[in-house]
Amino acid sequence: MANDQRTYRSGFLRELNKNFPLFLMALPGVVLLIAFSYLPLFGLIIAFKDVHYDVGILKSPWVGLKNFEFLFKTPDAFIITRNTLLYNFAFIVFGNLAAIATAIALSEMRSRFMAKFYQSVMFLPYFLSWVVVAYMAFAFLSIDLGILNTMVLPKLGLQPIAWYFETKPWPVILILANLWKYTGYNAVIYLAAITGIDPEYYEAALIDGASKWQQIKHITIPLLSPLVVVLVLLGIGRIFYADFGLFYQLPMNSGALYDVTNVIDTYVYRTLMGMNDIGMASAASFYQSIMGFILVLTSNLIVRRLDPEKALF
Amino acid sequence: MHSKSRFLQISAVSEAILHIFFGIVTLACLIPLWSVISISLSNDNKIRQIGYRFWPVGFSTKSYDFVLSQGRAIWHAYGITIFVTIVGTVLCVLVVSMYAYILFRKDFKYRKFFTFFGFFTMLINAGLVPWYIVCVNILHLKNTIYALILPYVMNMWYVLIFRTYLSMSLPDSIIESAKIDGAGEFTTFFRIVVPLVKPGLATIALFSAITYWNDWWLPFMLIDTEKLYNLQYMMYRVQQKIQYLAEIAGKLGASGIVPTDLPTESARMAMAVLGMGPIVLAYPFFQRYFVKGLTIGAIKG
């Protein structure tokens, strides 16, 4: 036993000695991973403590599940969970449908030049930060000056809408904004897969007299389905995390809209920074991490069952 | 692109319908951009009377004169953004490519360990609160320029993309022959590997540069001294509170006098145009590389 350990250790030391430059190359990455990913993992214990800044986190008293009790007693816990899950669910469904439809349509267009042009334009929103997108949205939604209220709605004979105070339109606005920003990007991923399909399948179908529509239905879509499954499952693995910029910048942090725009990420931020309630914020943060971890493991397990090649691990 | 002529093509009618559909989508992507530019070039009094429009009303470049001449802080923020983007991108490419390289070396015994060590961080994320406390209390990043750079330097996702790129474009025999010629590991990496994988490095550099350029999250969390505001964060502050533009102009501007007739509405949008300008101009060039990088990523995620 002791002997085994020594050989193991000398094995490591020998390796370190032999490949020292390679270890050195890994070092900056390792240090940064420790600093920004591993150290915070230890911080997960904050959720079980009553933090007093004067004595430090380690010496602060344990409080068991108190922080969680407080969190789940608030109405917020339900709202933020519901919002995070439903929005992400909508993004997964509509996002993938839009990207697949776009990719198939672009790949079938006769004019290659125009297909490239459309692809380029649709990719553009991906390059803009949510701050810039919030400015653009404001140009349309501003209550007294916005294009919708001063131009579009009057022409349709409708009353102006107080966009930043009216909760009803926001689920639609947020879903549209998400589609607007990411469809071009996701379509490229599907387009890459379509370009990789062996042309012989289509030739064979053509000989059998399959129409274009039948080709798409019986060749393109079935061959895309493994990628769809993977992307959907990856989305499900991240369903407890929300795009902070989308939910914070776009509604301009308007308090009147929290009911439909507050997600776990924005809630954690507001509780930590605004209310300075570190106990509740860490409980919410912990809840998100653990649910996220379980879902990543589960979805990977499912991917591995379906197609071991595509599994992440 | 493979030849389409061998296949059944979609009908002219279908093609026309697709053109109409994508025409609308194209407009939906470009009109918001165009509107912001139009408003920035409008006369502020006109805007206040009739509201924002799709086209410039009472054409005027006063908003730009105002933002550029009064807002010295904006130039400063530009400087911060450029500095952070350059330094951050260089560091990111260096750290990511070296880490990916050791994972690529099949003769390196500990590559499995380092793969898992990085990969684990993609599986579980401690979340905002512990991350914030580590950044502030342990790493002391609050209100330092490092806060705007370090958190984004190491990215395991880029490592995986670059490792895939290496294994597709770099034969093992090149490393072996370099070894036989007696080159050290660093010499092999910088003199032989790096020149051969420049397109892969460019892809990572672009992903990283966009992240740094568009970042508002790090200053949002870790910076509250105006000297370290980057461009996106300053834009966020202006959007939140348009008077802020007047405040910084008054505080840091050359004249020290805040004009009463601030072109606030058009200046707000001028700020957005200045913020996205370089990215949108560089976009046609960037896009090709992004598509390539994504395609590589899609092969094995």
Q: How far is CA A216 from CA A107, A210, A220, A221, in A?
A: 11, 10, 5, 6
Q: How many independent structural domains does chain B possess?
A: 2
Out of A188, A272, A296, the one facing B132 most closely (by C-beta) is A272
CA distance A146 to chain B (A): 6
Among A51, A116, A131, pick the best mutation site for testing chain B contact (most B Cβ within 10 A): A131
- Same-domain pairing of A16 and A86: no
Average pLDDT in the A221-244 region?
Answer: 88
Q: How many independent structural domains does chain A possess?
A: 2
Among B2, B122, B129, pick the best mutation site for testing chain A contact (most A Cβ within 10 A): B129
- Same-domain pairing of A254 and A235: yes
- Same-domain pairing of A196 and A254: yes
- Same-domain pairing of A7 and A130: no
- Same-domain pairing of B45 and B82: no
Query: B200 lies in which domain range?
Result: 61-298
- Same-domain pairing of B199 and B189: yes
**Rounded Cα distance, B267 and A131, in Å:** 16
- pTM metric for this prediction: 0.89
- Same-domain pairing of B71 and B45: no
- Same-domain pairing of B29 and B117: no
CA nearest to B295 within chain A: A192
**Rounded Cα distance, B19 and B31, in Å:** 18
- Same-domain pairing of A198 and A245: yes
Which of B19, B42, B59 delimits the end of a domain? B59
Q: Residue B106: which CATH number?
A: 1.10.3720.10
ipTM of this predicted structure = 0.88
Q: What is the pLDDT of residue A5?
A: 53
Q: Does residue A256 have a pLDDT over 50?
A: yes
Q: What is the pLDDT of residue B174?
A: 87
Chain A 246-305, CB below 8 Å of chain B: which residues?
Answer: 249, 252-253, 265, 268-269, 272, 278, 281-282, 285-286, 288-289, 292-293, 296-297
CA distance A257 to chain B (A): 16
- Same-domain pairing of B189 and B48: no
The phi and psi torsions of B222 (rounded to 5 degrees) equal -115, -5
Query: A17 lies in which domain range?
Result: 1-46
- Same-domain pairing of A111 and A185: yes
CB contact under 8 A, A192 and B124: no
Which stretches in chain B have pLDDT values below 70? 1-8, 70-71, 242-262, 296-301
Instruction: Pick the range with the lowest mean pLDDT from A16-20, A109-113, A279-283.
Output: A16-20
- Same-domain pairing of A116 and A202: yes
Q: A222 CB near a chain B CB, below 8 Å?
A: no
Average pLDDT in the A7-26 region?
Answer: 81
- Same-domain pairing of B55 and B139: no
- Same-domain pairing of A203 and A65: yes
**Rounded Cα distance, A185 and A121, in Å:** 11
One DSSP character per residue, A221-242 reads HHHHHHHHHHHHHHHHHTTT--
Averaged confidence pLDDT in chain A: 88
